[in-house]
Amino acid sequence: MKKVPNRTFLTEDELPKQYYNIAADMPNKIRPYLHPATFEPVGPADLAPLFPMALIEQEMATDRYIDIPKEVQEVYATMRPSPLVRAYRLEKALGTPAKIYYKYEGTNPSGSHKLNTAVPQAFYNKAEGIKRIATETGAGQWGTALSIACSMYDMECAVYMVRVSYDQKPYRKTLIETYGASILPSPSNQTNVGRAILEKDPNSLGSLGIAISEAVEDAATHDDTHYALGSVLNHVIIHQSIIGLEAKKQFDKVDDYPDIVIGCNGGGSNFSGLAFPFVHDKIVDGVDTEFIAVEPAACPKLTKGLFAYDFGDTAGMAPVTPMYSLGHDFVPAGIHAGGLRYHGDSALLSQLFDDGIVGAQAVHQTEVFKAAVQFAKTESILPAPESAHAILVAMQKALECKESGEEKTIFFNLSGHGHFDLSAYEAYLGGNMQDFEYTDEMLKAGLATMPNIPFQ
Ligand SMILES: *Cc1c(COP(=O)(O)O)cnc(C)c1O
């Protein structure tokens, strides 16, 4: 058999010209977003203070394919495709008959998949005459990506960064400021939401839910400012389909196809971006592929949460969405995978999980870092702690193949590198990392805050 190259690319001509939108193919459509004050379905006008109309249209679109603007294609061509890598050395170290592949999204200037959506979001805002974008960031990857995209389009960018990550990763601040954005730890004293939380708890670790509320308030109170979200929303998931669309063409080139598709799950964007073009084949053509969204045991929305309407943010300013949630004021433990500390999930991914089309698994951070270190030693890339959740489960599946002798093709998303996460590696290598349990009391407290709106 012909040996598959270590890395497979695409020519510029072969890069996708359209995004894929799973809304066209899913058997059960998602329920509508609701207005946070009235609980009535939101229309485009409700979202107009926050987003440009082109993104609002994508948010509600049911077209299967959506054109990528020429200008965005040109930017993608400077940094894509990301390589499809065959993990020969990892396979050998594990002694598995399985074939392991990953898509490495850390090769672009931002170091994670987030730039795939930051570029079109900045582009559409600029086209609508917006001068400034406010956003939140967890671990800092999204703030970095959006600050890069805003510098490309000569726009201002204000980043509210979750306090625990801001303290864990001081160099993120410098990086984001280098691209010209401003950055504040959240909760901050710049917004009503932030001040109210600091009054109750001056030492608040912050959460993505709080930072989103601050950024939404900022956008809603400045005429020239829009809000941008780095995950969760349908238009973000649509943009990230570029990952899976490229991967399908790359798999064609090496004459292979995944049996198992794995991604880590924060708000669902890297998992969905990689997986949904393959989920299409499962739904439409009946291909028997297993999909696993991997989440931290300290923030287990799919595996422990409730599928219900909940607020997307802590203060209840963002739309109420139908999703798996742990409750919008849940503040997860300060695990090192800051990008996975979101209380809820993508509506699209939540629906597909509820319908049994994709699966999920929760894992603890010490086992995640053990896998990350083995990956770094074999494949030489230092993975982001978030991405290492996917690595761990890919390794577990490969070891199951070793037991059974099956030569499955395992495919995961290496969503970013971990060059800004060295304090986490330091904690792990020094034996100073602990695991956090998610308790029934936390679940009860979280569910009690959810707005009890029955599904129709
Ligand atoms: C933000 C981030 C995640 C988690 O967000 P998703 O929307 O679930 O993808 C995962 N990996 C990396 C590297 C990230 O930056």
Q: Atom 10, ligand 1: which residue's CA is nearest? A: 386
For the CA atoms of 76, 78, 79, 82, the dihedral, rounded to the nearest 10 degrees, stands at 80
Which residues lie across from 325 on neighbouring strands?
A: 306
The low-confidence residues of the chain, meaning pLDDT below 70, are: 1-2
Residue type, 282: K
Q: Which residue has the tokens 């490969």?
A: 398
In a domain, 147, yes or no: no
Tell me, what's the pLDDT at 170?
Answer: 87
In a domain, 292, yes or no: yes
- Measure the CA–CA gap between 184 and 205, rounded to whole angstroms: 13
In a domain, 35, yes or no: no
Q: Which of 107, 114, 363 to mutate to test the pocket of ligand 1 (most atoms within 8 A of CB)?
A: 114
In a domain, 249, yes or no: yes
Three-state SS at 110: coil
Provide the sign of the torsion angle of the four alpha carbons 380, 383, 387, 388, taken in this order.
positive
Token digits of residue 106:
């850390």
Eight-class DSSP state of 154: T
Q: Atom 3, ligand 1: which residue's CA is nearest? A: 339
Tell me, what's the pLDDT at 169?
Answer: 87
Q: Which of 105, 238, 270, 342 to mutate to test the pocket of ligand 1 (most atoms within 8 A of CB)?
A: 270
Contact 15, 191 (CB under 8 A): no
Q: Which domain holds residue 257?
A: 80-111+241-446
Using a 6 Å cutoff on CB, does residue 137 contact ligand 1? Answer: no
Using a 6 Å cutoff on CB, does residue 269 contact ligand 1? Answer: yes
CATH number where 256 lies: 3.40.50.1100
Tell me, what's the pLDDT at 41?
Answer: 97
- Measure the CA–CA gap between 261 and 264, rounded to whole angstroms: 11
Using a 6 Å cutoff on CB, does residue 112 contact ligand 1? Answer: yes
Measured from the Cα of 111, ligand 1's closest atom is 13
Q: How many domains is the chain built from?
A: 1
Token digits of residue 155:
């726009």
In a domain, 223, yes or no: no
- Measure the CA–CA gap between 170 and 109, rounded to whole angstroms: 19
Three-state SS at 103: strand
Using a 6 Å cutoff on CB, does residue 165 contact ligand 1? Answer: no
Using a 6 Å cutoff on CB, does residue 110 contact ligand 1? Answer: no
What are φ and ψ of residue 447, in 5° steps?
Answer: -65, -30
In a domain, 27, yes or no: no
108, 147, 18, 111: which is closest to 72 by C-alpha?
18
Tell me, what's the pLDDT at 3?
Answer: 87
Using a 6 Å cutoff on CB, does residue 111 contact ligand 1? Answer: no
Pairing of strands 290-296, 359-363: parallel
Residue type, 105: E
Using DSSP, how many helices (H) and how many strands (E) does the chain show?
18, 15
In a domain, 190, yes or no: no
Distance between Cα 228 and ligand 1 center (Å): 15
In a domain, 424, yes or no: yes
Distance between Cα 71 and ligand 1 center (Å): 25
pTM metric for this prediction: 0.98
Tell me, what's the pLDDT at 289?
Answer: 98
